[in-house]
């Protein structure tokens, strides 16, 4: 089966993807910035599946040397890297740009753009050398040009994800590497829940309505994404969970059936 590297995979959708790949017999390299959390997740998944199938490598994607070390560790352990997923990303506080603390800007830009570029560069170099491989970049709010007050910086970085992926698809034409993107939609993670709990009551209630209609658990979205990745055999594929048709259907359905997903998470 295939070997997979996922950046930012000690929690959230990254961890969900790792677990689904392991369920299907793949070998997975988890990565994250915090050693303790990473070791904990590797242990949990190793007990559930097999320690031979999962390993962890500390990696801050804003450091190109650590990204290269991630590739090297995966290659040494499994002989090759079939799939590389650039999932690592962070967001800023939900504040208008002129109210946002300047210190929040660089980490978001460096992680979501510079880290993405490093990941693509390292994976492309390694996969061209080994003669095969697939790279997927994770999209997010703003990738399609949507705007929302308070998400200006984050949305800008995710818009860059779309541009970079499309540009690399053209650049890599003629190489043995396939590039694509993943659009998971609105996924409930600990990070999202923490941000919502810190919102003013009025804003929280408004957001809850949207999340109850459109959001999904990691356990719902991750299997779809992984199955689609493993079936894909061409470059330029964009794997989308929350399609425009699904959005319309859910809003229409919400008129008759009220979904209360957020209450399951104590929101």
Catalytic residues: 154
Alpha-carbon distance of 77 to 67, in angstroms, equals: 16
Quick check: 96 and 149 in contact, CB under 8 A? yes
Q: Which residues pair with 216 in a beta bridge?
A: 187
Nearest to 41 by CA among 25, 56, 24: 56
Strands (E), 77-126: 83-86
Nearest to 181 by CA among 109, 117, 85: 85
> Cα 35 to the chain's mean position, in Å?
19
- The residue count for the chain: 267
By CB neighbour count within 10 A (0-12 exposed, 13-18 middle, 19+ buried), where does 13 fall?
A: buried
Residue 257 gets the label, from left (phi > 0), alpha (psi -120 to 50) or beta, of: beta
- DSSP states of 135-173 as a string? EEEE--TTTTS---TT-HHHHHHHHHHHHHHHHHHHHTT
């Amino acid at each position: 089966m295939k070997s997979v590297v996922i950046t930012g995979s000690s929690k959230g959708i990254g961890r969900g993807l790792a677990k689904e790949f392991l369920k299907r017999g793949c070998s997975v390299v988890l990565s994250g910035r915090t050693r303790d959390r990473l070791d904990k997740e590797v242990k949990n998944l190793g007990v559930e599946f097999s320690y031979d199938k999962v390993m962890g490598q500390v990696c801050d994607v804003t450091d190109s040397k650590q990204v290269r070390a991630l590739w090297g560790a995966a290659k040494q352990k499994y002989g090759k890297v079939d799939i590389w997923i650039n999932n690592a990303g962070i967001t800023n506080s939900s504040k208008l740009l002129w109210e946002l603390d300047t210190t929040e800007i660089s980490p978001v830009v460096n992680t979501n753009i510079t880290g993405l570029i490093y990941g693509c560069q390292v994976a492309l170099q390694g996969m061209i050398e080994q003669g095969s491989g697939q790279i997927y970049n994770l999209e997010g709010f703003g990738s399609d040009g949507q705007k929302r007050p308070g998400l200006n910086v984050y949305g800008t970085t995710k818009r860059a994800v779309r541009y970079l992926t499309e540009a690399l698809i053209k650049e890599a034409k003629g190489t043995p590497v396939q590039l694509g993107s993943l659009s998971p939609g609105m996924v409930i993670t600990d990070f999202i829940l923490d941000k919502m709990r810190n919102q003013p009551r009025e804003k929280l209630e408004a957001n809850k309505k949207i999340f109850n209609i459109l959001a999904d658990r990691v356990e719902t979205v991750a299997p779809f994404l992984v199955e689609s990745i493993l079936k894909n055999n061409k470059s330029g594929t964009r794997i989308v969970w929350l399609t425009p048709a699904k959005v319309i259907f859910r809003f229409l359905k919400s008129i008759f059936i009220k979904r209360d997903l957020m209450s399951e998470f104590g929101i």
